[in-house]
Amino acid sequence: MRADRLVSALLILQARGKVTAAELAGELEVSLATARRDLGALSVAGIPVYAEPGRGGGWQLLGGSRTDLTGLTAPEARALFLLLGSAPQLPDGAAPALRKLLRALPPSFRDDAEAAAAARVTDRAGWGEPAPQRPQLADALENAVVDRRRLRLDYRRSAGERSVRAVNPWAVVDKGGIWYVLAGTDNGPRTFRVDRIEGLEDSGELFERPADLDVLRLWNGVSAEIEGRRSRVRVTVLLDPGHLPVLRDHFGTHLDELGTEPDGRARVSVAGSVPMDVARKLAGWGSLVEVVDSPEVGRLLARLGRELMDLYSED
């Protein structure tokens, strides 16, 4: 809408002081002629906008005029953009609205707001694990991302080994309740699970974010790699369709619906990193779930059943 563009143009002028029609056209993703018409329309509407011709010229607000549309303090702006983050599930129209709000902020704390907007990624598709509460370290990590502070992490790997890692935190990721830190290290980009961070310390050093850093693209690559490792074994099972929502909670993105059997049961595919991983998740279902194409998983389920019988049988 034209009114939407005019407000955006005004906020850009307010933020930058002076812009050329070509710069405005690129920012608003319109043609050069449209940008010139919009600037002229602002002037006709009584906004003190004027053009300075010649080399180094451009359009600017007369006398540094301002329109304060936010009323936000620096901490409020930072908190707001940190909350909204760079979630891919923002409602329609939210991204343009955030850009307008960002342009309306005073230059003195716009950089912090921009950093806060990119500090967190929300990926709502879970791994199929129980989602814990927001970790206690999340606030400290997000603040380090915004402030560009280098950290030392006391980190415990999945196998239990512990080490101290010096990292430049680029973003914090909420993956369906499992939290990660995307960071730069001396050995390149790395991903750390927040629930394996035993402690963190501010090194007192600042770092520069890579100019070409694309946090969402980096996380999508990491997520795809993890998904590949977690779904090496795929098994087809049958169950009552009424149980599907609960089974999906157990397997997350590693469950695919394949259709319906003649007897009304749902045919689904579930996956795990190894056969025992799948068997353990299915064992609690008893006879409610039937494995149809993996003798190995079937044998593991039988073994788990015998172990339970030996442990709990009264005879």
Tens-digit pLDDT profile for residues 213-242: 888 888 888 888 877 777 788 999 999 999
Which of 61, 68, 58, 155 is closest to 104 using CA atoms? 68
pTM above 0.85, yes or no: no
What is the amino acid identity at position 162? R
- Per-residue pLDDT at 242: 94
pLDDT in tens, 77-106: 555 555 555 444 454 555 555 666 666 666
Between helices 138-147 and 110-117, what is the axis angle to 10°? 130
- Per-residue pLDDT at 176: 76
Q: Which residues pair with residue 149 across a beta bridge?
A: 206
Q: Per mean pLDDT, which range of 4-18, 23-37, 128-142, 269-283 is the poorest?
A: 4-18
Residue 61 has pLDDT above 80, yes or no: no
Residue 67 has pLDDT above 70, yes or no: no
Residue 48 has pLDDT above 90, yes or no: no
Q: Which two tokens stand for residue 199?
A: 């402690």
HSE at residue 298, side-chain half, CA atoms within 13 A, is 8
**For residues 5-29, average pLDDT:** 78
Please name each of the domains of the chain with its CATH number. Answer: 2-64 (1.10.10.10), 74-117 (no CATH), 122-229 (2.30.30), 231-312 (3.30.70)
pLDDT in tens, 147-162: 889 999 999 987 788 9
Residue 120 burial by CB count (10 A; 0-12/13-18/19+): exposed, middle or buried? buried
- Per-residue pLDDT at 139: 83
State how beta strands 255-260 and 233-239 pair: unpaired
DSSP the chain: -HHHHHHHHHHHHHHHSEE-HHHHHHHHT--HHHHHHHHHHHHHTT--EEEE-STT-EEEEGGG---------HHHHHHHHHHHTT-TTPPTTHHHHHHHHHHHS-GGGHHHHHHHHTSEEEE----SS---PPPTTHHHHHHHHHHTEEEEEEEE-TTS-EEEEEEEEEEEEEETTEEEEEEEETTEEEEEEGGGEEEEEEEEEE-PPPTT--HHHHHHHHHHHHHHHHTSEEEEEEE-GGGHHHHHHHHGGGEEEEEE-TTSPEEEEEEESSHHHHHHHHHTTGGGEEE-S-HHHHHHHHHHHHHHHHHH---
295 touches 260 (CB < 8 A): no
Q: Residue 20 contacts by C-beta under 8 Å, 6 or more apart in sequence?
A: 57, 58, 59
Residue 171 has pLDDT above 80, yes or no: yes
